[in-house]
Amino acid sequence: MIDLRMKHLVKLALVNIYQNKTRTFLSTLGVIVGTATIFLVIAIGKGGEAQVSEQFSKLNVGTIIVRSAMRGKVVDPLTEKDAELFAQSEYIASAFPVLFGNGDISYANYSQQSGFIAIYPEFQEKNNLTVWQGRPLGDEDEENRNKCVVLGGELAYVLTDGNPSEILGQTITINHRKFEVVGIYNRVGDSGSGMSYDDSAFLPYTVGKRYLLGKSANPTIFVQATELEAVQLAVEDITSVLNETHRGGGAEQFRILDAGSRLAAAQESARTMSLLLLAVATVVLIVSGIGIMNVMFVTVKERTKEIGILKAIGARKREILSQFLLEAVIISLVGGLLGVVFGYFAVPLLEFLDLPALPSVTGVLLGLLFSVITGIFFGFYPALQAAGLNPIEALRYE
């Protein structure tokens, strides 16, 4: 009886792999691609989730937006009175109307169609609008009805052909009405309101209503819940108020959007996409596993006489099984490690293509785990076949 200890089995497996290194490398390619795909899929998924979180981090997840569900003329629009009623809820910290409009915005010899937003000063803090240059809109602007405006970062850049600082203190026209530019906001990206804040001009609420939109303008109401956990209760109170004050159609005439739900939905979409890509990567690994199994079958055939000799001198069935299974695992593990390395090198390429990717330990572990499982699963049957060979028939095999 011989005792083939693990180190001897490993050494024997490595020798056999080395002797057939070209064939082994070719069979490993599938594992490399599969593992790299899993690694990158997880990296892309985490990158997407991080990007979504970053975009929504600029919004307050306790913000609720109430707007008409219809475009154009609305029969029973929201009013400033609705905002006052919303604010009476114990789950709502504040509620204020906002007016959105579009028009011709001109400065010097340049003009373009863009959005303008009539707001109360607190709108700026609730929407993380910070001033890059100049000053924000203040209570005095609302009280004195100052015809002033603060520009979004992108709009200021466009109007001045890349030199936004020059527009501070100057006069622009919005639909042929003149306003003084008192500030420029930092860029904020996705606003969550359906209108880009970066491309918009902001002016005091009463000024926008009086000079640009008229008294019949339909406001959108921004509501701030007292805390994140109170958002759903605040939405229920808003629905009750709308059903009470708009009896013609109740709350069904309006859309009630909360940033938290949008964030959760966006993250769920990113996770769903990751799972889909993960399924594709799993198929790649299965195909590569079939390749490994074929290689192991060929190896068993080629080494049948060697197996017969080992059995003749006392090698046990489980030792033969372990040796061949070990070879399959080593092949898949090496392929997995190379796949992870390949994945790391591919991350900068994805970023160059504007595809966010965030490498993670989870991606490394899952990639290696899947590769090893592939080796064990697809290497087991050929190994079992080798272990079950009759020693006399194996010695006679040519």
Give the CA dihedral 172, 178, 183, 189, nearest 10 degrees. Answer: -70
- In sequence order, what are the beta bridge partners of 183? 134, 150
Please give the full DSSP string across 251-305, using - where no structure is assigned.
Answer: GGGEEEEEHHHHHHHHHHHHHHHHHHHHHHHHHHHHHHHHHHHHHHHHHHHHTHH
Say if CB 212 and CB 175 are below 8 A apart. yes
pLDDT at 263: 66
Beta-carbon contacts of 237 under 8 Å, excluding residues fewer than 6 positions away, are 86, 89, 91, 92
Largest CA distance in the chain: 106
Residue 158 identity: V
pLDDT at 262: 67
Beta strands, E only, the chain: 63-68, 92-107, 110-119, 131-134, 148-151, 171-174, 177-185, 200-204, 220-225, 254-258
Percent of the chain with pLDDT over 70: 89
Most confident of 45-59, 108-122, 170-184, 233-247: 170-184
Q: What is the mean pLDDT of the chain?
A: 83
Residue 100 identity: F
Say if CB 80 and CB 97 are below 8 A apart. yes
Beta-carbon contacts of 322 under 8 Å, excluding residues fewer than 6 positions away, are 4, 6, 9, 383
Confidence tier at 297 by pLDDT (50, 70, 90): confident
Q: Of 49-63, 172-186, 284-298, 375-389, where does mean pLDDT reach its minimum?
A: 49-63
- Which residue's structure tokens are 């190896």? 299
The H-or-E segment that residue 191 falls in is none
Residue 377: exposure state from Cβ atoms within 10 A (0-12, 13-18, ≥19): middle
Mean pLDDT confidence for 367-388: 84
Residue 213 backbone phi and psi in degrees, to 5: -110, -20
pLDDT at 2: 47
Confidence tier at 33 by pLDDT (50, 70, 90): confident
Whole-model pTM?
0.57
Most confident of 61-65, 141-145, 296-300, 386-390: 141-145
pLDDT at 266: 67
Question: Distance (Å, rounded) from C-alpha 79 to C-alpha 35?
Answer: 57
Give the end-to-end CA distance of the chain in Å, rounded to a whole number.
Answer: 26
Residue-wise burial string across 190-221, b where 16 or more C-beta atoms lie within 10 A, e elsewhere: bbbbebbbbbbbbbbbbbbbbbbbeeebbbbb
Question: Distance (Å, rounded) from C-alpha 14 to C-alpha 336?
Answer: 16
Confidence tier at 90 by pLDDT (50, 70, 90): very high
Confidence tier at 118 by pLDDT (50, 70, 90): very high
Say if CB 254 and CB 242 are below 8 A apart. yes
Hey, is 198 helix, strand or coil? Answer: coil
Say if CB 126 and CB 265 are below 8 A apart. no
Q: Of 32-41, 57-66, 73-82, where does mean pLDDT reach its minimum?
A: 57-66
Residue 69 identity: A
Mean pLDDT confidence for 266-288: 73
pLDDT at 92: 92
